[in-house]
Structure 1
Amino acid sequence: MQALLEVILPVFVVTGFGYFAVWRGWFSDAGVDGLMNFTQKFAIPCLLFTAIARLDLGQSFDWRLLASFYAGALAGFLLGLFGARHLFGRSWEDAVAIGFCCLFSNTVLLGLPLTERAYGTEAMNTTFAIIAMHSPFCYGIGITAMEITRARGTAGVSLVGKVLKAMFSNALIIGIALGFIVNLTGFPIPGVLNDGLDLLVRAALPAALFGLGGVLVRYRPEGDLRVILFVCAIALVVHPMITRGLVAAFALPVEVVRASVLTAAMAPGINTYIFANMYGAARRVAASGVLIGTALSILTVWVWLALLP
């Protein structure tokens, strides 16, 4: 109960404030769009930039950690893809979009604040290492699978260009890439710029959580309930189970086990709906999966915190 009250609920209270404010009309849809643009294109990229720039890359980027997390993510994508196709009879395009819902967890807006509250700022280094690979890995798989599906297996060299363009037009990836450049070159960040970045960083997560609540008002649960619950089960249970088993097999330190499994246990992220909307496939499943998965994660994260060492 302590974890629920002290770790989980404060994060979801901020999200709930955003939801209630927009639902009651106290905060406009245009305001939510502006807030999410600020967080996702400026504040969070700055957060990721400063985090990667200051990381001890040799210690944080352990291949066993990344293999454990992304093996679970890839397994979730394949289960979602083939489950949607063969269990629920969806088209291949819908199946890829549903697989992407099982693949792309909300590592930034939920994973970072929950990890910080549960295990402290030091544990966030593990989450930052995961996030650094998250968008390139997930978009690379999702876009490749969708383009091949739409081309019925005959996608040409233009596929590589589409994947790279989609990835490197993303502000989060740009922030991560710049952070790696500064880290690897040892380029010093001027003190005034560093202080300004820290001010932006402090605003990133609270503003993003409030904005997330406002965005969720738009995603009303309707229809496709069995598929949506299937997506939630994979995202909230199967992915963290696989990650938990692998980090245990690799005998990783307990602080890495905690942060990696907790990050794997996050609900589908908003980017799953963006992906579905971009291709016009399984949009209702993606939208409702974000909303219902986020609500269910209040309980499932509580369980995972109790099970973790």
Structure 2
Amino acid sequence: MSALLDVILPVFLLIGAGYLAVWRGLFTDTGVDGLMAYTQRFAIPCLLFRGIVEIDLGEEFTWPLLLTFYTGALSGFALGVAGARFFGRPWEEAIAIGFCGLFSNSTLLGLPITERAFGSDILRYNYAIIAIHPPLCYLIGVTAMEIVRSHGEPLAGLPRKVTRAMFHNALVIGIALGFVVNLSGIDLPEVADDALDLIIRSALPAALFGLGGILFRYKIEGDAKIIALICTASLVVHPSVAWLLGALLNLSVDQLRAAVLTAAMAPGVNTYIFANIYGRAQRSAASGVLVGTAFSILSVWLWLLILP
């Protein structure tokens, strides 16, 4: 019970505060959009930039850790696609639903919950996972969607579409710049580093409050079976596969904690953005984000009890 009270509830209370503020008219939709634009385009990219700059790429960026997390993510994607097809959804909708099982909320939820549960030192493994999370997930999602949309026609424009989807994302740009600084050994001027630190301190609290406001816009609509499928893929299959594979690959305790707890997060808001880009399964994706975020309170609590 202490894990629920000390680790999880403060994070979700901040999300709830944002939800309540928008619901009661204390914070406008325009304010939410501005806050999320600040966090998604500036503050969180700075946070990820700092994280990538400071990690030891040789020690933390290891294939067993990444294989553990992303095998679970691909399992969630496969279940989402197969389940949606089983329930009679067209291929394009099935890919959008599968993307909900692929793209977990590794940053807005994963970072603060992992830090509160296990301390800031473990976050170096979270940053290693997140470093390839947006580009790899968009690579998989866009490629799969363009293949099913092509109906057998040549895919000459696919590389351009995939590259555009990945590198028009501020998170990817922040991560890429972090790799440049890390690998080049450049030292940031102290004044720039201090300014960066000020931005980073605001990133997660502001993003969590804004996430609550965003969730208020979503309504639980659509097929209950599809919503249950999304929650199962993201909250059960993804972390379960990561936990089993991590044990088989003998990950360290901290690596296993980072991989499984990040995998246990609800679908990220990017899943709705992806569905909206293609105009497919938007209601299912939005409902999956909302219901998955609510149920992740319990699922994360259970994984905190299971993890060493």
Given the two structures, how large is their TM-score scaled by the length of structure 1? Answer: 0.99
Moved more, 216-225 or 18-27: 216-225
Note the C-alpha offset of 1:79: 1.1
Note the C-alpha offset of 1:223: 2.5
Q: Distance in 2 between matches of 1:150 and 1:203?
A: 40
Q: Is contact 1:17–1:210 with CA below 8 Å preserved after alignment?
A: yes
1:73-152 aligned within 5 A? 73-85=73-85, 87-152=86-151
Indicate the residue corresponding to 1:56 in structure 2: 56
Indicate the residue corresponding to 1:272 in structure 2: 271
RMSD of aligned C-alpha atoms? Answer: 0.6
Q: Distance in 2 between matches of 1:124 and 1:31?
A: 30
Indicate the residue corresponding to 1:17 in structure 2: 17
Moved more, 153-162 or 232-241: 153-162
Identity between Structure 1 and Structure 2 (%) = 63
SS in 1 for 2:152: coil
Note the C-alpha offset of 1:259: 1.2
Note the C-alpha offset of 1:229: 0.8
Which letter maps to 2:70? Answer: Y
SS in 1 for 2:217: coil
Following TM superposition, the consecutive aligned residue runs of length 4 or more in structure 1 with deviations greater than 6 angstroms are none
Indicate the residue corresponding to 1:40 in structure 2: 40
Compared CA separation, residues 104 and 155, structure 1 to 2 (3 A): farther
Note the C-alpha offset of 1:106: 0.3
Q: Distance in 1 between matches of 2:3 and 2:206?
A: 23
Which letter maps to 1:7? Answer: V
Note the C-alpha offset of 1:152: 1.2
Q: Which runs of 5+ in 2 are unaligned?
A: none
Which letter maps to 1:307? Answer: I
SS in 2 for 1:107: coil
1:234-273 aligned within 5 A? 234-273=233-272
Q: Distance in 1 between matches of 2:103 and 2:235?
A: 11
Indicate the residue corresponding to 1:292 in structure 2: 291
Q: Is contact 1:19–1:213 with CA below 8 Å preserved after alignment?
A: yes
Compared CA separation, residues 274 and 47, structure 1 to 2 (3 A): same
Indicate the residue corresponding to 1:31 in structure 2: 31
Note the C-alpha offset of 1:153: 3.1
Cα distance per residue 1:232-273 (max 9 Å; x no partner): 011001100000011100111111111110000000000000
Q: Distance in 2 between matches of 1:307 and 1:155?
A: 48
Which letter maps to 2:77? Answer: F
Q: Distance in 2 between matches of 1:231 and 1:243?
A: 17
Cα distance per residue 1:97-120 (max 9 Å; x no partner): 000011000000000000000000
Cα distance per residue 1:142-183 (max 9 Å; x no partner): 000111111113242210010001101100000000000000
SS in 2 for 1:289: helix
Cα distance per residue 1:27-57 (max 9 Å; x no partner): 0000000000000000000000011011111
Q: Is contact 1:148–1:155 with CA below 8 Å preserved after alignment?
A: no
Indicate the residue corresponding to 1:206 in structure 2: 205
Note the C-alpha offset of 1:134: 0.3
Q: Distance in 2 between matches of 1:155 and 1:2?
A: 56
Q: Distance in 2 between matches of 1:97 and 1:227?
A: 11
Cα distance per residue 1:44-85 (max 9 Å; x no partner): 000000110111111110100001100110111111111101
Indicate the residue corresponding to 1:185 in structure 2: 184
Note the C-alpha offset of 1:199: 0.4
Q: Distance in 2 between matches of 1:223 and 1:183?
A: 45
Q: Distance in 2 between matches of 1:210 and 1:222?
A: 23
Which letter maps to 2:304? Answer: L
Q: Distance in 2 between matches of 1:223 and 1:142?
A: 22
Q: Distance in 1 between matches of 2:193 and 2:55?
A: 15
Q: Which runs of 5+ in 1 are unaligned?
A: none
Q: Distance in 2 between matches of 1:156 and 1:98?
A: 22
Cα distance per residue 1:184-212 (max 9 Å; x no partner): 00011000000000000000000000000
SS in 2 for 1:109: coil
SS in 2 for 1:251: coil
Given the two structures, how large is their TM-score scaled by the length of structure 2? Answer: 0.99
Q: Is contact 1:136–1:167 with CA below 8 Å preserved after alignment?
A: yes
